[in-house]
Amino acid sequence: MKIFKKINIAIVGFGNIGSYFYKTLQKNKKTISIKTGKMPYVKYISAKNINKNRFVKLPKSKWVKNPMDLTLNKKIDVIVELIGGSEGIAKKLVFSALKNKKHVITANKDLIAKYGDQLAYIAEKNKVNLEYEAAVAGGIPIIKSMKEGLIANKISKIYGILNGTTNYILSTMENTGENFHEVLNKAIKLGFAESNPISDLNGSDAASKIKILSSLAFNKTISKNKILVEGIQNINLTDIFHAKSLGYKIKLLAISEVISGRLNERVHPCLVLNSSHIANINGVLNAIIVDGHPIGRSILQGEGAGPGPTSSALISDLCSVLRGNIKYPFGVSYFLRKKIIKFDTLKHSSSSYLRIEVKDLSGVLSSITKIFAKNKISIKNLIQVPDKKNKKASIAIITHKSLEKNFNNLLLNLTKNKFVLKKPTFIRIENI
């Protein structure tokens, strides 16, 4: 019988993800050993609350009170960080672990998005792995695909649905006719959303993820620039109804592309054609689309969160470490990654959807269309839905392509118009 070399692992953070990862690792230990030639062994575990009820029982000898002690322990080869957050103990732990030549595996997107460049430098210097497959899109192997499977490709654009919570909300609103707050409460009860889901709803979660993917796609340092980020809080059933009648669905997309040598990163709701692949990604699923040469278009989809998909990604990273596959954290050496100048968002061109609530009076439509013409925006489609009871009307408009700065001026002028009852809803259209 072959005896495999033992690799000692410490897990820091032992909530739902940590305990599920441990259980999955124990169940598949034999298979992993055969496939990697190394035996993974969880030697220590550290958590804020040791006495918390968990579905796995562990001997007291495995528990370590101070996680920082693990970074100095010579018996530990790999530290799996599952605390979360970009600051505090998570940051201290990962920095210290890499400095002390421990391999690090993490699911912490916020940490990687904020400090990934610094961490990559330390990892390369000390010839250890920094693995973070679980930080982006859960069980979808997008990080390895970017670093290995698509290594020969020149990427022109990467985009997709990177947040399962918002995708569940939007697709459920469309399918059931329930309003935003009804669906949000349902998502929280089902565990598809956190009790405080603000980072999901306002787009910041997806923004962290697209910054990581953008770095991999374009061999660049992680952007510190403020990028366009808009959430889904202001989208209501009326918008979803209008979009459907016009042949579209609404999705929260994260997009990164290089335009004329400048980087355009953005997160915002989009209208996408019903016939597009991404329009049919529903529920909590994520989808990532990569446009490149020579591959053309590559599509990856699957569950983007939860204990199962996250554990799958963590074990994939662990197997890379066990095989001795030491690689650059972002695909190329820290010293070869470049800075790319930010694209001026105001120069971005797109078609758009606008919903304008107006007084139901004679001459209102003419007044509105004149404002569009004044701001160099032409109208492609228009739907007017009167509300006689409340003496108002809802005007849904699809425009031809125009510059972002023109839309900004349009919205400002519309808001000031005496016939317009409230700030219009504005959603860009992505022809993908």
pLDDT of residue 1: 52
CATH number of 5-135, picked from 1.10.260.40, 1.10.645.10, 3.40.50.720, 3.40.720.10 = 3.40.50.720
d(CA 243, CA 152): 38
Annotation: CATH topology of 142-303: Dihydrodipicolinate Reductase; domain 2 (3.30.360)
Please name the helix (run of DSSP H) or strand (run of DSSP E) that holds residue 5, with its range, or none.
Answer: strand 5-12
Write out the two tokens for 12.
């820091």
Dist CA 192 CA 284 (whole Å): 7
Of 15-19, 43-47, 191-195, the range with the lowest mean pLDDT is 191-195
Q: Which of 209, 191, 314 is nearest to 254 (CA)?
A: 209
Provide CB contacts within 8 A for 53, sequence distance 6+: none
Burial of 346 (0-12, 13-18, 19+ CB in 10 A): exposed
Question: What is 341-355 written as a DSSP string?
Answer: PBP-GGG-EEEEEEE
> How sure is the predictor about 389, in pLDDT bands with cuts at 50, 70 and 90?
confident
User: So where are the chain's domains?
Assistant: 5-135, 142-303, 347-429
Catalytic center residues? 209
- Listing DSSP states for 30-81 in one string gives HHHHHHHSEEEEEEEEE-S-TTS--SS---GGGB-S-GGGGGT-TT--EEEE
Torsion 216-219-225-230 (CA) sign: negative
Retrieve residue 186's tokens: 């349902």
More confidently predicted of 128 and 50: 128
Q: Contact, 161 vs 287, CB < 8 A?
A: yes
Percent with pLDDT over 70 in the chain = 100
Structure tokens at 153: 């490709």
Distance CA 37, CA 322 (A): 7
Q: What are the DSSP calls for 10-42, one per residue?
A: EEE--SHHHHHHHHHHHHTHHHHHHHHSEEEEE
Q: What is the pLDDT at residue 50?
A: 79
CB distance 356 to 395 below 8 Å: yes
Q: For the segment 332-379, what is each residue's pLDDT rounded down to a tens digit? A: 999 999 888 899 999 999 999 999 999 988 888 889 999 999 999 999
Q: Please answer whether residues 403 and 347 qualify as being in contact, where contact means their C-beta atoms are separated by less than 8 angstroms.
A: yes
Q: What is the reported pTM?
A: 0.91
* 3-state SS assignment for residue 179: coil
88 pLDDT higher than 80? yes
How far is 102 from 100, CA to CA, in rounded Å?
A: 6
> Angle at CA 205, nearest 5°, toward 143 and 403?
95
- pLDDT reading at 54 higher than 80: no
One-letter amino acid at 351 equals S
Print burial letters for 294-327: b (CB count within 10 Å at least 16), e (below 16): eeeebebbbbbbbbebbbbbbbbbbbbbbeeeeb
Q: Do domains 142-303 and 347-429 have the same CATH topology?
A: no
Residues 82, 21: contact at Cβ < 8 Å? yes
Residue 152 half-sphere exposure toward CB, CA atoms < 13 A: 4
Question: What pLDDT does residue 202 have?
Answer: 96
Residue 430 has pLDDT above 60, yes or no: yes
Return the CATH number of 347-429, one of 3.40.50.170, 3.90.1150.10, 3.30.70.260, 3.40.640.10.
3.30.70.260
